[in-house]
Chain A
Amino acid sequence: MAKPRTVVMVPVDADTVAIGARDVKNRFAEEIGRRGLASEISVLEVGSFGPVDAGVIAAVQPDGVVYGGLTPDRVDRIVEEHFVKGRACREWLLSGEHPLPDPRATDSRHTQYAGRIVLDNCGRINPENIDEYIANDGYFALGKALSDMTPAAVVEDVKKSGLRGRGGAGFPTGLKWGFCASETGPEKYVVCNADEGEPGTFKDRLIMEGDPHKVLEGMALCGYAIGASKGYIYIRGEYKLSIERLRQAIAAARAYGLLGNNILDSGFTFDIDIKIGAGAYVCGEETALIESMEGKRGLPRLKPPFPAQQGFRNKPTNVNNVETLANIPAIVQRGADWFRGVGAANMPGTKVYTILGHVRRPGLIEVPGGVTLRDIIDDYAGGMKHGNFKMAQLGGTAGDLLGEEMLDVPLNYDALEKVGHVLGSGAILIMNETIGVCDFLHACMRFFAHESCGNCNPCRNGLRWLSAITARLKAGTGYPGDIEIMEEIATVLKTAAFCPLGQSPAGPITSALRYFKPEIEKGIDHSSARPKPDHTARALATFAG
């Protein structure tokens, strides 16, 4: 078969599929076929390669041209202009410079995708074709581990790589694997946490949609390392396309003998099933996730015992985030030293972020550990779209608010900890001066109050009052003393709540008070007085918020 000179790549992910990406892709194929160009131009369905607000996109390579805002009836013109007349169709050219994948390159490391570890295949290969994954070194690491490495050596490699959990908590992955590996007993589980409930975070979805096999390979490597033969992907039900592609990928890997009994004749058996969650934020917490997997109400468990000792079905269980697992094949294939060479010394490897808000190019990026917020805004997100930078929320709704003075702090676990912040899940929300801090805090608190599982008292009750207080501050009707009470509840939540969900609202509140206290103080109405609770007339008691 002749190698086509040009490819049209249409990213089909959960966002674009809803606005007709598949129709656009089909229309391209149809039009190109109608004009007899099918042998020269191939049309590919790929995963997302980054941009999120540009409608349906199509990238033409090697021309390096990206079209956005496509509908099927616009395809006609583009095919006519671009492929017949040979000039880019200016009308729907996507402004900005997204790093573009080049499917013709045999080694992704030599393309503009250089430096990508997790997303190297995303937007570049057809996620529904296992051969394309294999052609790009896919399952090489699994083969290497099974033939050349002991399980302990794999754990050791992951430890040495310095990889830390990419779900938000940043716990050293190798250490976690080591706990589980040291447990005896034949029944252990690998769980991939694909619940991704943190608002503004959708990196895991795009990884699963764009390169599902990488996640499967990461899980299989984990299973080999810790001695598990069964893996589960706990995925939120809204992620329909991810579920579809993962299912397809699991079936393909089974058909190739890369999952199932006696993988590659090594004696290692590992299989993966999907468990679909019902969309509770708390189920992203690993013990609540396990409860949910067991068919119970998603409530966090008491720790200890930790999942590594007693997890799913009370057996040793290792739970890792999607992105964490997607790092594993590269680490095993290229070694811990190579991985440590990428990124900062204290944060080896890369980090995938979803960058949102008032920036020119919101979307998915993968950057070496340790770049600063300013780098991200200016270099990767094209700068502020309008207005001036006021604040950023790092790591989703549970994340800290960062003021302007934090723009030059490197985004890595230790550097952020030194200045009293945490990195979180990978969402970066950039806000300009049009956003009021109290308004924003109320949105966060309302979210938490809604998502609180209701199990522990400070979270269940405290968040209800935090939501009420921030509503008052937002409306400018705060009672004198509200700020102190808000801070008190937040501080107590951080140390007293049962699980990270209840502990994390302290992040936005204490950081907001740190950078924006004068603005928050404007929410107090000094002429008002806190009403005395009237508990006996409770049927009549109505209070705002």
Chain B
Amino acid sequence: MTIELTIDRQPVSVPEDATILDAAKAAGIIIPTLCYMPDIASPGSCRVCLVEIEGARTLQPACVTKVAPGMVVRTNSKQAREARRLSVELLLANHPWDCNACVRNGQCELQDLAQTMGITDVRFPYAGEEVPLDTSTPALVRDMNKCILCRRCIGVCQDVQGVSTLAPRARGFDTVVGAGVGDNLCEAVCVQCGQCSAICPVGAIYEKDAIEDVWAALDNPKKHVVVQTAPAIRAALGECFGLEPGTCVTGKMVTALRRLGFDKVFDTNFTADLTIIEEGHELLTRLKKALVDKEPVALPMFTSCSPGWINYMEFFFPDLIPNLSSCKSPQQMFGALAKTYYAQKAGVDPADIVVVSVMPCTAKKFEAERPEMHGSGYQDVDYVLTTRELGRMIQEAGIDFMALPDGEQDTPMGMSTGAADIFANTGGVMEAALRTVYEVVTGRELPTEKLHVTPIHGLEGVKEAALTFENCVPDWKFLEGVTAKVAVAHGLANAQRVCDKVAKGEADYHFIEVMCCPGGCIGGGGQPRMTTNNVRNARIKAIYAEDEGRPMRKSHTNPAIEEIYRDFLGEPLGEISHRLLHTHYEKKESSLTPATQAK
């Protein structure tokens, strides 16, 4: 059913569940917003989108007020304009004015609002006391001086991630957004997903910057600096340069990295393919133990690529840790191999190798510093940059991104398949695993259109699929007729639903993919702002297009993978694999790990 209403004397017709903000947009009217978040319940508390509705006693927030038949809305009346303007002036009055030296300078929503509303004077003297920055975690910086209490971060932390680390404290003018019960994020149960940093409208929460460290490594002639880029970077980096979401920029990205001075431009996709081999074998081994040897074994098995998800397990579902795949994440496999396999191959002393990752993720910064991640004898991954930081580095280096020619990754650790590309989005790891597992077990290619497992595509919170193995090869004959049940969850609130089910013994899945962030890595906390569902869908579409355009689309067909098993690893789940590519996790009370304590 559509609803007819009038906005600023224009008749508008919109679906019945539309808000006034939606309706105004349809009518070509821009209503300023601040606390509003697309796809997430808005608190309606900043009062920046107030409009006048005929007959209503008070002004109403356009972002949360639903349209009604015959409604007459004025978005630009004197009353509404003055209320919105004062609302923004009041926010500015309680916000530092060191914009020129702010990480969000030029990309700040409060700045934009002040400019749009023509505010040139603030009549209230700022009287806040300066509070110290919270730099206690490897991933995030909180500058509560700049917080304008829009509560978007609380919305994502509570509603989307279900972690509820961030919550308001105190009352009235003294209200602050607190992390847990302590002063510092490191004392709180925080998974470091950084969704808060991706949604903050100002410079109050942002990724901990590793740019200077990376410059220092690049500037040091003794260091051999290699870079890996996560699958999700290529579908989002372009947004830092004004490209539409969903523009894949793999080639330009590679060239930009080379021009920044990296000695080798590799790809996390390589270890994504490797993850499929290791994790696939791990799954089949667990199934064999359960079905043939009748040994007690933890099933269903959960994927372990997403460090925010690992943190979440350690805090909230420690009893399910045995169900986690023992595989390290592709980032950490890459680091361990770069300082062993690659060091050997290239004849470089691993002590001189610096591994830099570009990740869509802030939790990866935390993961790199985990004490478990020293398989090579060194810290496997030295520095982690988010997509946003890489964008800033490219800008700082004066590289005209749009004018760059396409480049190609270096071999061998830059070679990958389409199965690795789709690690970037929810459902991708599962699909990549099924492409390989099915073929290993039956000797035939996954019999679906374009190798896709469509039930696990899309942004539904929890997705399920089932696949029956028939005419199995002799080695896997015990799986004959077995129907593998899989589930895919993204966003930790959805993950919680699945975990609850597993913990209660109500789930009959064999394999579960969980990505910490909504949409998977393409929606990670380190990606360019703002990630809405439309943006997520666009990035996912770009990733699948990248996959489909590849000559190789199954991890086990990657010749570089064959090569590494032949020359270095021996066999999947072998002794070297065990040492470099696998790990285990433990129950935790807060994110304060020995590694972060030492800092």
Contacts and interface: CB of A to CB of B under 8 A. Distances in A.
A541 B94 CA distance: 12
A422 to B, nearest CB: 12
Nearest to A449: B172
Contacts of B48: 457
A488 B86 contact: yes
Contacts of A535: 95-98, 126
Contact of A533 (B50, B87, B124): B124
Interface stretch (B39-47, B345-353, B368-376, B578-586): B39-47
B91 interface: yes
Given A498-B44, A538-B96, A454 B124 contact: no
A496 B47 contact: yes
Given A449-B173, A452-B172, A531-B125, A458 B58 contact: no
Interface stretch (B127-135, B422-430, B528-536): B127-135
A457 B91 contact: yes
B175 interface: yes
A495 B127 contact: no
Nearest to A467: B173
A486 to B, nearest CB: 11
A457 B87 contact: yes
Contacts of A503: 58
A464 B173 contact: yes
Interface residues of B, number: 45
A533 B79 contact: no
B130 A464 contact: no
Tell which of A458, A461, A497, A534 has the most Cβ of chain B within 10 Å: A461
B59 interface: yes
A457 B168 contact: no
Given A461-B94, A464-B173, A494-B58, A485 B123 contact: yes
Interface in A523-545: 530-536, 538-539, 541-543
A80 interface: no
Q: Which 5 A-B pairs have the closest CB atoms?
A: A454-B175, A535-B97, A452-B172, A461-B90, A464-B173
B125 A543 contact: yes
Nearest to A485: B123
A489 B168 contact: no
Contacts of A280: 171
6 contacts: A450-B171, A454-B149, A454-B175, A455-B175, A495-B83, A535-B97
Given A449-B172, A458-B86, A538-B128, 13 more contacts: A454-B168, A454-B171, A455-B45, A457-B47, A458-B87, A461-B94, A481-B123, A492-B87, A494-B58, A497-B47, A533-B97, A534-B126, A541-B126
Given A456-B45, A492-B83, A538 B171 contact: no
Contacts, number: 128
Contacts of A532: 125
A496 B50 contact: yes
Nearest to A469: B124
Contacts of B126: 533-535, 538, 541
Tell which of B46, B126, B130 has the most Cβ of chain A within 10 Å: B126
A454 B176 CA distance: 9
B130 A462 contact: no
A454 B93 CA distance: 16
A464 B171 CA distance: 12
A524 to B, nearest CB: 15
Contacts of B167: 297
B508 interface: no
A433 to B, nearest CB: 32
Contact of A454 (B50, B83, B98, B173): B173
A498 B125 CA distance: 24
A461 B95 CA distance: 11
Given A458-B47, A464-B173, A492 B86 contact: yes
B149 A543 contact: no
B219 interface: no
A521 interface: no
Interface size classification for chain A: 35 or more
A196 to B, nearest CB: 19
Interface string B58-76: 1100001010000000000
A302 interface: yes
B170 interface: yes
Given A457-B46, A461-B93, A534 B125 contact: yes
Interface in B24-51: 43-48, 50
B171 A451 contact: yes
Interface in A439-484: 449-458, 460-465, 481
B177 to A, nearest CB: 10
Interface string B85-107: 01100110111111000000000
Contacts of A530: 123
Contacts of A538: 96, 126, 128-130, 145
Contacts of B319: none
B375 to A, nearest CB: 45
A460 B124 contact: no
Tell which of B59, B125, B172 has the most Cβ of chain A within 10 Å: B172
Interface in B124-177: 124-130, 145, 148-149, 151, 167-168, 170-175
B175 A460 contact: yes
Tell which of A503, A535, A541 has the most Cβ of chain B within 10 Å: A535
Nearest to A531: B125
B82 interface: yes
A78 to B, nearest CB: 48
Nearest to B58: A495
Contacts of B124: 465, 533
Contacts of A297: 167-168
B122 interface: yes
A462 B128 contact: no
Contacts of A539: 129-130
B59 A495 contact: yes
B45 A498 contact: yes
Given A449-B172, A461-B90, A541 B125 contact: yes
Tell which of A304, A452, A455, A498 has the most Cβ of chain B within 10 Å: A455
A458 B90 contact: yes
B47 A536 contact: no
A531 B173 CA distance: 21
A496 B58 contact: yes
Contacts of B83: 458, 492, 495-496
A496 B173 contact: no
Contacts of B50: 495-496
Interface in B169-223: 170-175
Contact of B125 (A481, A492, A533): A533
Nearest to A482: B123
Given A461-B94, A496-B59, A541-B126, A302 B173 contact: no
A480 to B, nearest CB: 12
A489 B86 CA distance: 8
Nearest to B97: A535
